[in-house]
Amino acid sequence: MDTILLETFIEVTHTRNFAKASDKLCISTSTTSARIKQLESLLGVALFERKHHEVCLTPAGERMERHARFILNAWEQAYEDTALGETEKKRLVIAGVPGLWDSFLQDKVNRLYQTQPDLILRLEESTPLRVVEKLDQGLVDIGFVYEQPNIKGLIVKEVASIPMSLVTSQPKQTLEEALGFAYVRVEWGAPFNTQHELAFPQRQLANVRANSGRIALKLILANGGAAYLPDTLVQEHLKAGTLYKVDEAPIIHMKAYAAYRMHNELKDLLEAFVGEEG
């Protein structure tokens, strides 16, 4: 199967529109449509349901999307591994959840980039589930998550304890006020949720939820409000007086874990990267 068919399929699933996908791919709409029809003919199923100017994935299309992304990622990795085999360069694929990129992982990668200029880096921000799936499939060399993945053959190490503080755009705000109407609930994962529920069993339902600390931060800076955010993400705003800690609020500590394969050929580099002081 030509990978260009899968690339076209993925672009259409992303845009939900043949014309927009065609613009992104720099091809005509008729070419996009022909590629999708060819892929559907190869598979013997309809991948999209056409509705006026928008298309929706069929159940078969939803199943195919996951496989298509896996195949394209595997092909890219195979291509790079083969090409790099003719050189002395090494490739390292690092994946992490958004909150860990915000809190400490970006700084670690910055230092790695500076000290290993010949290293080929592939950097990904993804959901906890996708990071673990890619670790299991061997599509990433090392993953950073909040919960220890239970996969055979992985080395898992605790690499950080991240303090989360309740911060607000209003000075001298009480805990009750901070958890009120303008509270933004950030989805940091199951460990955070457990501690949050224990600390605030009677809290009201948050009007806004976000799965990214950066989104919550920009929201409360622009519109006012409060959120639990990593200290490293908000320290500059605390110094500048644009955000304030809620004194009554407990600090919630989150553990971060690095996971990588026991028999990875880059094991020495990974251990040095994991063991580097943050």
**Is the pLDDT score of 84 beyond 60?**
no
Cα(12)–Cα(8) distance, integer angstroms:
6
pLDDT at 81: 67
Q: What is the CATH number of the domain that holds 241?
A: 3.40.190.290
Q: Which two tokens stand for residue 255?
A: 């553990």
Cα(236)–Cα(246) distance, integer angstroms:
16
**Do 9 and 46 have their domain in common?**
yes
Average of per-residue pLDDT across 26-36: 90
**Residue 251: left (phi > 0), alpha (psi -120 to 50), or beta?**
beta
The residue among 63, 71, 125, 64 whose CA lies nearest residue 93 is 125
Least confident interval from 6-10, 25-29, 201-205, 216-220? 201-205
**Counts for the chain of helices (H) and strands (E), in that order:** 12, 11
Only one residue has tokens 């309740």, namely: 166
**Do 65 and 148 have their domain in common?**
no
Confidence at 163, pLDDT banded by 50, 70, 90: very high
Specify the number of domains making up the chain: 3
Range of the domain at 235: 162-253
pLDDT at 278: 53
Confidence at 82, pLDDT banded by 50, 70, 90: low
Question: What are 272-276's contacts with CB under 8 Å, separation 24+?
Answer: 273/108, 273/112, 273/142, 274/142, 274/157, 274/159, 276/108, 276/111
Average of per-residue pLDDT across 247-256: 93
**Do 114 and 221 have their domain in common?**
no
Q: Which two tokens stand for residue 115?
A: 């000290």
CA atoms within 13 A on the CB side of 160: 24
**Do 71 and 96 have their domain in common?**
no
**Is the pLDDT score of 218 beyond 90?**
yes
Average of per-residue pLDDT across 147-170: 91
**Do 144 and 262 have their domain in common?**
yes
**Do 190 and 241 have their domain in common?**
yes
**Do 166 and 249 have their domain in common?**
yes
**Do 231 and 170 have their domain in common?**
yes
**Do 95 and 110 have their domain in common?**
yes
Q: What is the CATH number of the domain that holds 135?
A: 3.40.190.10
pLDDT digits (tens, 9 = 90+) for 118-146: 888 889 998 888 899 888 888 889 999 99
Model-level pTM?
0.66
Which residues fall within 8 angstroms of residue 236, CB to CB, at 6 or more apart?
A: none
The residue among 221, 214, 238, 232 whose CA lies nearest residue 182 is 221
Cα(99)–Cα(82) distance, integer angstroms:
33
pLDDT cut 90: percent of the chain above it: 37
**Do 151 and 98 have their domain in common?**
yes
